A and B are shown apart, each in its own frame.
Chain A
Amino acid sequence: MLSVKGLRANVGENEILTGLDLEVGPGEVHAIMGPNGSGKSTFAHVLSGREGYEVTSGSVQFDGHDLLELEPEERARLGLFLAFQYPVELPGVNNTYFLKAALNAIRKSRGESELDAVSFMRLMKERLKVLHLDDSLLKRPVNFGFSGGEKKRNEIFQMAMLEPRLAILDETDSGLDIDALRIVADGVNALRDPARSMIVVTHYQRLLDYIEPDHVHVLARGRIIRSGGKELALELEERGYGWIDEVAA
């Protein structure tokens, strides 16, 4: 489904990704772990098409498309979804209106008709429940004045509405207390599907207690230096990231 080969990317003069390889198959959940500054978020951003990164070499294929050639909205319409580490507040942009515009843009690109108001409302209420979110959220501006936990839950709510083929969760656990973490993880697990893949980017192993990965990768200095099963996450938890410098050097 996703095939990343030799990906190198710069921010300004600095090379952040230094030859990253990753293969993600349908239905698989991959965790990417690594210390601060290892390039985890950069990788998530490059996949989603954020500006400010210059890809110098390598390729990213997504369902047969050259992902790097596409605009962010085109990637989203193909089924890519990024759950932001810092969801952006959009004052004055109503949450319902926003979700409807997003869902209809995606449906239209697939040749599907727009959802009518009643079906859309029903779908929203059903998905809200899974995330333990209140209906009043639909009337508020997107993320505006939301607590940290509400913002993260709203990301997963959007994911539930847009039903992506590949979801990238960028540090979704950061800033969440244990109860909020459990709700978010339940929401993510409810979306696990043989046709839906996920990349879970995280600093801590904690999230992986709730969202169990099929594969764990260690990212350091812009490339993956070790890959393994879920037991690798536990090993990292025990040993910390100190040993990585020697391996990566």
Chain B
Amino acid sequence: MTPGKGAQGQGSPAALFQDWLPAAGRSTGQSLPWLAAQRVQARARVRELGVPSPKSEGWRYSSLSPLLEQGFRAVGEASGEAGSALDPGALQTLLIPELRSHRVVLVNGRFDAALSALGTLPRGVRIGGLRDSLARDPDALEGLLTSVAGDGSHVFTAINTASLDDGVVLLMERGALLEEPLEVIHVALPASADARGHELAPPVAHPRLLFSLGDGAQAEIIERYVGPGGGPSCTNAVVEIALGRGALLRHRRIQDEHADGFHLSGVYLSQGADSRYEGINIGLGGRWARTDLVMRFTGEHAECDLRGLYLAGDRQLLDYHLDVHHGLPHCASRENFKGILFGKGRAVFDGLVYVAPDAQKTDAAMSNRNLILSPNAEVDTKPQLEIYADDVKCSHGTTVGQIEPEMLFYLRSRGISAGLARRMLCLGFAGEIIDGLGPAALREHVTEQVGARLEQAPL
């Protein structure tokens, strides 16, 4: 197979996605009937769904062509081994020095025990690689793994399930408390060469993450998507989150892939009664990135707070889809996404809040605000409320604007250069989202990255 195979295969979409899947029967946990059944079912689902049509509602604004043209192939299949390795020195450059965490490193979706630093875990908390966990204690995962994401209607989730092989598992017992955050570093590496020195097709990784918090458990999770660059890479991650009654999860996701990075992630969230989820999604890097956040309440009086910030410049598409389903009464959700676009950057915000007929006393507010710094940048924003209950408090709003000349003049009249003034105003705009990030080391890191990106922007 040559790297060009994918592009040629565009005439037959089903064949195209076959390259994304591993050969049947080679994955972990093949001896587990429940998991094998899931994989088979997902494989059928991939064939059934095929490549999404550009006319389908979920794909109208973001063309798949740049992704498909790369000819990505499943990790390990092309090379016949576990994929490329990352040396510890290279990892150092990807770390946030001041950040204290229980660290898990995935290299092209594969748990790397040598690079991970789990430290001492509190009582009632288990963290490990998915492959190891399936080998050691599969019973703990049965009924949990794949149950939140389900089959779905999303072909990339089905591909992930069909390829399910490795990733991260966090299991917290009732009342467990994780004081230092769990940090998951997804490192995407480009194509490697085979034994004869021929360059192989660029790899796609399918990490699966499972975070299960028992009743009253509390944790903070930082996911960082990074890579050293040097060629196209692709990560197709699925994150499943199950929160028990009264559980609290703070989930920070920083997508900071390199300039040839392709990124897909589906975050599936199931929230028990009285639970609270606080998610912050920061999109900084990558060439083509799509994130789907799908959430469901399984108990009343739960709260879901989804925030996001995306910075899209030249040759970048950053695409966010929110699907928040209020199926039960007395739950609250907040969706607040902000975007800064410059150069020829493109972004999509497609947010849906659905309130079922029985979901009385729902409290939902969705907002998407965008700052466009160049005439060539573009954002498609589509916040939607679908309300079938009559006693609810719901609102949505969207803005697409430029830097206020008044604000710019005010700063310049104090001696501040126009360029710095624009950056200060952009950082001020972004600050509402960034300020919600903890711990301080992470917040400072993101502020620096945002500042650095803005400095490159042709303002």
Could you say which residues of chain B place their CB within 8 Å of the CB of A106? 415
Q: Interface-forming stretch among B22-30, B119-127, B266-274, B401-409?
A: B401-409
- Residue of B415, B417, B420, B431 with highest tally of chain A CB at under 10 A: B415
Q: Interface-forming stretch among B54-62, B167-175, B381-389, B421-429?
A: B421-429
* With known contacts A88-B407, A93-B424, A101-B424, A76–B432 Cβ distance under 8 A: no
Could you say which residues of chain B place their CB within 8 Å of the CB of A109? 415
A207-233 contact mask (Cβ, 8 Å, vs B): 1 or 0: 000000000000000000000000000
Are A158 and B425 in contact, with the CB atoms below 8 A? no
A90 within 8 A of B: yes
Select A141's contact among B412, B418, B428, beta carbons within 8 Å.
B428
Are B409 and A158 in contact, with the CB atoms below 8 A? no
Are A51 and B416 in contact, with the CB atoms below 8 A? no
Query: Interface of chain B, helix or strand or loop or mixed?
Result: helix
Select B411's contact among A50, A82, A87, A90, beta carbons within 8 Å.
A90
* With known contacts A50-B409, A51-B409, A101-B420, A91–B415 Cβ distance under 8 A: no
Please measure, in the bound complex, the distance between the C-alpha atom of A170 and the C-alpha atom of B51, giving whole angstroms: 63
Please measure, in the bound complex, the distance between the C-alpha atom of A101 and the C-alpha atom of B428, giving whole angstroms: 14
A204 within 8 A of B: no
Are B414 and A76 in contact, with the CB atoms below 8 A? yes
Please measure, in the bound complex, the distance between the C-alpha atom of A106 and the C-alpha atom of B413, giving whole angstroms: 11
Select B413's contact among A49, A90, A101, beta carbons within 8 Å.
A49
Are B413 and A82 in contact, with the CB atoms below 8 A? yes
Please measure, in the bound complex, the distance between the C-alpha atom of A103 and the C-alpha atom of B416, giving whole angstroms: 9
Could you say which residues of chain A place their CB within 8 Å of the CB of B425? 90, 92-93
Chain A residue with Cβ nearest B404: A88
Please measure, in the bound complex, the distance between the C-alpha atom of A186 and the C-alpha atom of B177, giving whole angstroms: 56
Chain B residue with Cβ nearest A93: B428
B430 within 8 A of A: yes
Are B417 and A48 in contact, with the CB atoms below 8 A? no
Are A92 and B406 in contact, with the CB atoms below 8 A? no
Query: From residue 127 to 155 of chain A, which have CB atoms closer than 8 A to chain B?
Result: 141
B34 within 8 A of A: no
A98 within 8 A of B: yes
The smallest C-beta distance from B155 to any residue of chain A, in angstroms, reads 39
Query: From residue 80 to 124 of chain A, which have CB atoms closer than 8 A to chain B?
Result: 81-82, 84, 87-88, 90-93, 97-98, 101-103, 105-106, 109
Please measure, in the bound complex, the distance between the C-alpha atom of A109 and the C-alpha atom of B415, giving whole angstroms: 9
Select B428's contact among A75, A87, A91, A103, beta carbons within 8 Å.
A91
Are B416 and A105 in contact, with the CB atoms below 8 A? yes
Could you say which residues of chain B place their CB within 8 Å of the CB of A49? 412-413
Are A76 and B415 in contact, with the CB atoms below 8 A? yes
Are B429 and A72 in contact, with the CB atoms below 8 A? no
* With known contacts A92-B427, A92-B428, A77–B410 Cβ distance under 8 A: no
* With known contacts A88-B407, A90-B407, A71–B412 Cβ distance under 8 A: yes
The smallest C-beta distance from A46 to any residue of chain B, in angstroms, reads 13
The smallest C-beta distance from B407 to any residue of chain A, in angstroms, reads 6
A237 within 8 A of B: no
Please measure, in the bound complex, the distance between the C-alpha atom of A37 and the C-alpha atom of B424, giving whole angstroms: 34
Could you say which residues of chain B place their CB within 8 Å of the CB of A103? 415
A162 within 8 A of B: yes
- Residue of A50, A73, A88 with highest tally of chain B CB at under 10 A: A73
* With known contacts A51-B409, A98-B424, A101-B420, A92–B415 Cβ distance under 8 A: no
* With known contacts A105-B416, A158-B414, A72–B409 Cβ distance under 8 A: yes
Are B417 and A73 in contact, with the CB atoms below 8 A? yes
Are B416 and A101 in contact, with the CB atoms below 8 A? yes
Could you say which residues of chain B place their CB within 8 Å of the CB of A90? 407, 410-411, 424-425, 428
Please measure, in the bound complex, the distance between the C-alpha atom of A55 and the C-alpha atom of B33, giving whole angstroms: 82
The smallest C-beta distance from B345 to any residue of chain A, in angstroms, reads 21
Could you say which residues of chain A place their CB within 8 Å of the CB of B411? 90, 93, 98, 102
Known A48-B413, A88-B410, A162-B414; 8 more pairs at CB < 8 Å = A72-B413, A76-B415, A84-B410, A87-B410, A90-B407, A92-B425, A101-B424, A102-B411
4 closest residue pairs by CB, A with B? A92-B428, A76-B415, A102-B414, A92-B431
A interface residues with partner B (beta carbon < 8 Å): 48-51, 71-73, 75-77, 81-82, 84, 87-88, 90-93, 97-98, 101-103, 105-106, 109, 141, 158, 162
Ordered by A's residue number, 16 sampled pairs between the chains whose C-beta atoms are within 8 Å are A51-B409, A73-B412, A73-B413, A73-B415, A73-B416, A73-B421, A84-B410, A87-B410, A88-B406, A88-B410, A90-B411, A90-B424, A92-B429, A92-B430, A102-B416, A105-B420
